[in-house]
Amino acid sequence: MSAYLELESRFRRMALIGDAGSMLGWDRAAMMPEGGNGARSEVVATLRVLRHEMLTDTEVGDLMDEVGGDNRLDDWQRANLAEMRRWRLHATAVPADLVAAISRATSESEMVWRKARPASDLAMLMPHLKKVLELTREKARIKAAALGIPAYEALMDEYEPSGRTERIDAIFDDYAAFLPDFLERVLTRQASRPPPIRPPGPFPIDRQKALGEHLMKVIGFDFAHGRLDVSAHPFCGGVPDDVRITTRYSTDDFTQSLMGVLHETGHAMYERQLPERWRWQPVGEARGMSVHESQSLLIEMQVCRGPEFMAFAAPLMREAFGGSGPAWETDNLRRIYAQVGRSFIRVEADEVTYPAHVILRYRLEKRLIAGDLRLEEVPGAWSEELKRLLGIVPPDDRRGCLQDIHWPEGIFGYFPTYSLGAMTAAQLFDAAKRADASILPAIATGEFAPLMGWLKAHVHGQGSKLSTDELLTRATGRSLDPAVFKAHLTARYLS
Amino acid sequence: MSAYLELESRFRRMALIGDAGSMLGWDRAAMMPEGGNGARSEVVATLRVLRHEMLTDTEVGDLMDEVGGDNRLDDWQRANLAEMRRWRLHATAVPADLVAAISRATSESEMVWRKARPASDLAMLMPHLKKVLELTREKARIKAAALGIPAYEALMDEYEPSGRTERIDAIFDDYAAFLPDFLERVLTRQASRPPPIRPPGPFPIDRQKALGEHLMKVIGFDFAHGRLDVSAHPFCGGVPDDVRITTRYSTDDFTQSLMGVLHETGHAMYERQLPERWRWQPVGEARGMSVHESQSLLIEMQVCRGPEFMAFAAPLMREAFGGSGPAWETDNLRRIYAQVGRSFIRVEADEVTYPAHVILRYRLEKRLIAGDLRLEEVPGAWSEELKRLLGIVPPDDRRGCLQDIHWPEGIFGYFPTYSLGAMTAAQLFDAAKRADASILPAIATGEFAPLMGWLKAHVHGQGSKLSTDELLTRATGRSLDPAVFKAHLTARYLS
């Protein structure tokens, strides 16, 4: 046991260093004055290097060998050891000079992207993106050999361990086949009614914040263990015992920021309810990106845009802003949150069309990594896919392949987790409602304890003990099944 | 040179880890929700242990031996090496089990002190304080042997390197002799005029904050490299490129918080103007606590409570709060900031009586460390000293020896730096004004560049290159001379 316990002690230290970095990352986005950036980069890089050195230390490898398949380990410890090994494998697989080259190339390419996107200038970005892709393919080849899985899956493994393209292909193809006709029917039905009325602003930021905080508390967010602040790009950061979520406000429209807050609260509740016994151990961390996204989308899409929560929240919105009249009626507010439309921009898409944006990127990046698609061919392929999926063609690259930061940052294999998360959310919420009939009526009265109790037992409290597929199967009785998501959409938009 | 450069590289890493800890310390005081405290303690302790391990690593000692007195080092490098050796000496002198015992004893004793102080219950604290004192004396003995200086000076060396009791005794004895008669004259003169009128509140916090920020900018604080926030106990934290100062507001009185902000701005300017070339090296850090305190007191006491700055700032105060009438006249505001009185509480004392509180603690703690005074005798000795210095006797221990956190926290040898700082401030400001006749007229128009330029050249930009005494001698032409401080007080309070 002593080798295993020594590993726990070392990974605990790495996790605590990671927590320092995580908190400084939040500070950088939410608090830091711009002049602090240079010094902060040095601090964060130092912490990252330290952690990397500890993880790749040969003694860690020796300890892992020594533990072997120690039979005295219980389920959690075994899962912990497996996560430790996965972490180490990712850290040691890629030679240091390739890691450094990728780091340089992606930070340059990201910098150029920040200028190329507003200018819609793909040519400006192209040489940098090519370098990033080339290095990423090299990394993918090396990791694929180390992990014994295909190159694209080896990249995905960092975000979505054990994600398999065969399964994702099937799920996404199914949705791609379902979408065109479904979307047409949704839009026809939507067009048959007058559009919802936008509540007139301005909406003072302090009242938006107070309303957001109130609804966060309703969901179960404990402000003794977290904060709500402002940043340019909303996110959920911090650490499980001190979760920091952010949003941004517009005084013209409160609806988007508010829903963003509820989305991040979903992420936050996952972090908060991770197993305390396994704090600072790999197995105590969230399972992966699709499960994490499922938790934010379960709260945002499944719960908060649903009729029960809207019936509860609409009076609070009226009260917060002193609103009255048709724009503030519950049904109108609910319809604002259920508008569907064809759009070019992923992050502005509704839950019906969002998967189209993801499927497109997934298909393209898989081909890019495989070498079946050249970067020069991306704009054409983009238009073709979007035309097929949504029936529209982006007028320029700014609204096409230049819109996302992922590829310039060297992030390939992440996109599918958004839509896997959306589908997982539907399946989990469906199972939760079946398991506990009190969940939905409770939400209608602003009572989230039944839902959060179920999520803690079946998702949050499991940490990384189970694979994503095992987690979902135990919680819902089956592997990811897109039928549940489609049924949810049909019920919400066509019934 | 390679051994020296390897040391630089190692100390750079230690400094960057220290910076992470510093920023997390600010967050803890200014941002963190209370429930984050447990996890934060683990993170901060991990960073501290890491840094300690790096500093005490035998390889660092070997490198220092290898460098020896390398003649190729320039002045800055030599000073850097000397600081490295001093740091390491402090870190390695005390055995790990004594460090751990002190850490346990002080955190317990501090916890008990938080209850004992409001209850004025010295007996409750006594056993814990005894333990702390006993362990501190043990530490002092060990450090004294390692540093080759007396025990009390060895403790002081952590805060005030090369501080010597013989010199401090002389300076403090001189002030103790000067004070009783001087104070009597000041109070008699003060009593001959009606007391200043307090501007009537309430003073909205957002306007207090805006005024504070405006005056911070006037002094030279760059908000691209720092922030002003709120914490229970005002302090200056963060890192040189991102200085975080804090204050606390009362809506009944803006004057105290505002002056506190200016005080912390003095600390902040020191940090901001430390030599950039030596960032993350020991020699690039602030010289010591008396010099640091001299910078806050130079801004607060020498400059901001002076007539030139008050003439500039009073109209801004009127404007900020829409004030008019006698309470808002410049002379009245200036007099609010120049009230003198006998008080029991150190942190509420004015600049005339403050040294009495410090001298008392210095005399007592020196005897405690020497073993010439037992803790049971402290209340009696406290009353005796305060009677002699200020002519008053505290009615209870809450307003006597229980008021400060220092001793319960195991901090002995720190108190003298407050008043050495006040005297250093007077001497530096006096020299600055002599060197550059434009400094004072510029301040009267809200222009701090001449003063800040002089301070950067003579104090801030020197980092830890010189000893405190050398720094002051080069900047002002002589060692610390209490006559300058006394002349300042005489000019301000009796002319």
- Say which of A35, A241, A280 has its CB closest to residue B35: A241
Nearest to B459 by CA among B266, B276, B295, B243: B295
CB atoms within 10 A of CB A260: 20
Among A40, A46, A242, select the one facing B17 at the smallest CB separation.
A46
Token pair listed for B481: 């001379």
Decide: helix, strand or coil at residue B198. Answer: coil
Check CB contact of B205 with chain A, cutoff 8 Å.
Answer: no
Alpha carbon separation from A93 to A11, A96, A448, B208 (Å, rounded): 18, 9, 43, 56
Distance from CA of A210 to the nearest CA of B (A): 17
> Cβ of B42 and A16 within 8 Å?
yes
Fold of the A149-495 domain: Neurolysin; domain 3 (1.10.1370)
Cβ separation B279–A39 shorter than 8 A: yes
Q: Give counts: helices (H), strands (E), chain A.
A: 20, 3
CA atoms of B283 and B286, how far apart (whole Å): 8
- What separation in angstroms does the CA of B306 have from each of A117, B66, B440? 54, 52, 10
Do residue A13 and residue B46 have CB atoms under 8 angstroms apart?
yes
CA closest to A47 among chain B residues: B17
Sign of the four-CA dihedral B63, B68, B73, B76: positive
Are A23 and B19 an interchain contact pair (Cβ–Cβ within 8 Å)?
no
The residues with which A245 forms a beta bridge, in sequence order, are A228, A236
Q: Is B410 left (phi over 0), alpha (psi -120 to 50) or beta?
A: left
φ, ψ of residue A490 to 5 degrees: the values are -60, -45
Question: Scanning every residue of chain A, which has its alpha carbon at the shortest distance from the alpha carbon of B229?
Answer: A31
Q: What integer pLDDT is reported at residue B164 of this predicted model?
A: 96
**B490 with B430: CB under 8 angstroms?**
no
Closest alpha carbon to A177 in A493, A482, A488:
A482
* Regions in chain B scoring below 50 on pLDDT: none
Q: Tell if the CB–CB gap between A242 and B33 is shorter than 8 Å.
A: yes
Distance from the Cα of A30 to chain B's closest Cα (Å) equals 11
Give the ipTM of the model, two decimals please.
0.94
Q: Which residue of B has its CA nearest to A226?
A: B33
Cβ within 8 Å, pair B31-A227: yes
DSSP A143: H
Nearest CA in chain A to B279: A39
Q: Positive or negative, the Cα torsion across A477, A481, A483, A485?
A: positive
Count of Cβ atoms closer than 10 Å to residue B444 Cβ: 14
Please tell me if residue B38 touches chain A, with a CB cutoff of 8 Å. Answer: yes
Q: Which of A43, A217, A230, A278 to mutate to test the interface with B (most CBs of B within 10 A)?
A: A43
Q: CA of A18, closest CA in chain B: separation in Å?
A: 9
From the list A13, A19, A33, which residue is nearest B242 (CB)?
Answer: A33
**A331 Cβ contact list (under 8 Å, min separation 6):** none
Cα–Cα distance, A111 to A171 (Å, whole number):
35
Backbone dihedral region for residue B120 (phi beyond 0: left; psi -120 to 50: alpha; all else: beta): left
Size of interface A-B (CB pairs under 8 A): 101
Find, in chain B, the residue whose alpha carbon is nearest to that of A279: B39
Q: Which phi and psi (to 5°) does residue A477 adopt?
A: 90, -5
Most A CBs within 10 A among B23, B205, B216, B228, hence the mutation to make, goes to B23
Contact A20 B47 (CB under 8 A): yes
What distance in Å separates residue B43's CA from the closest CA in chain A? 5
Residues 6 or more apart whose CB falls under 8 angstroms from that of A355 comprise: A172, A175, A179, A419, A422
Q: Scan for tokens 């434009």, then name that residue.
A: B438
Q: What is the CATH number of domain B162-495?
A: 1.10.1370.30
Dihedral, B370, B373, B379, B380 alpha carbons, nearest 10: -130
Mark yes or no for CB contact A241/B20 under 8 Å. Answer: no
Residues 139-168 of A with CB under 8 A from B: none
Between vectors from CA B122 to CA B120 and to CA B126, what angle results, nearest 5°?
155
Query: What residues does A243 pair with on adjacent strands?
Result: A226, A238
For B230, the 3-state DSSP assignment is strand
* CB of A227 less than 8 A from some CB of B: yes
Closest residue to B242, CB basis, from A32, A227, A279: A32
Q: Where do the structural domains in chain A lie, given as residue ranges?
A: 1-73, 149-495
Residues 6+ apart with CB under 8 A from A81: A4, A7, A64, A67, A70, A73
Question: Residues B264, B285, B293, B385: which is the catalytic one?
Answer: B264
Rounded to an integer, what distance in angstroms lies between the CA atom of residue A131 and that of residue A410?
10
* Alpha-carbon gap: A222 to the closest alpha carbon of chain B (Å): 9
CA distance, residue A286 to nearest chain B CA (Å): 17
Whether chain B has a CB inside 8 Å of the CB on A38: the answer is: yes
A49 C-beta neighbours (distance < 10 Å), count: 12
Q: Give me the residues of A, 207-226, that contact B with CB < 8 A.
A: 222-226
pLDDT tens digits, A253-267: 999 999 999 999 999
DSSP, collapsed to helix, strand or coil, labels residue A396 as coil
CA distance A282 to chain B (A): 16
Nearest CB among B33, B38, B226 relative to A227 is that of B33
- Angle between helical axes of A289-297 and A416-435 (0-180°, round to 10): 60
Interchain contact, B224 vs A33, CB within 8 Å? yes
Which ranges in B298-401 belong to alpha helices (H)? 307-321, 330-336, 354-370, 378-390
Which of A8, A83, A160, A264 is catalytic? The answer is A264
Chain B: give the shortest CA distance to residue A165, in Å.
38
Instruction: Give whole-number Cα distances, B481 to A164, A174, B91, B181, B300, in Å.
Output: 77, 85, 33, 20, 20
By the 8 A CB rule, do A282 and A83 touch? yes
Q: Is B385 in the active site? A: no
Q: Which of A179, A157, A208, A122 is nearest to A386 (CA)?
A: A179
Residues of A in contact with B46 (CB under 8 A): 13, 16-17, 20
At B69 the three-state DSSP class reads coil
Mutate which of A13, A46, A52 to disrupt the B interface (most B C-beta within 10 Å)? A46
Determine contact: B47 vs chain A, CB below 8 A: yes
Instruction: Round the average pLDDT of chain A to a whole number and report it.
Output: 97
- B230 strand-pairing partners: B247
CA B80 to chain centre: 23
CA distance B264 to B228: 10
pLDDT beneath 70: ranges in chain A = none
List the structure tokens of B401: 């020896």
A53 inside 8 A of chain B by CB: no
- Do residue A242 and residue B34 have CB atoms under 8 angstroms apart? no
The verdict on B16 touching A (C-beta cutoff 8 Å) is yes
Q: Which of A24, A42, A241 has its CB closest to that of B39?
A: A241
The CA distance from A400 to A394, in Å, is 6
Inter-chain residue contact B241 with A23, CB threshold 8 Å: no
Residue A88 in tokens: 């180490």
Whether the CB of B41 is below 8 Å from some CB of chain A: the reply is no
What is the rounded CA–CA span in Å between residue A277 and residue A298?
25
**A13 has a chain B CB within 8 A of its CB:** yes
Q: Closest by alpha carbon to B229, among B94, B29, B407, B22?
A: B29
- pLDDT at position A71 is 79
**DSSP letter for each residue of B120-144:** T-HHHHHHHHHHHHHHHHHHHHHHH
User: Quick check: B241 and A16 CB within 8 A?
Assistant: no
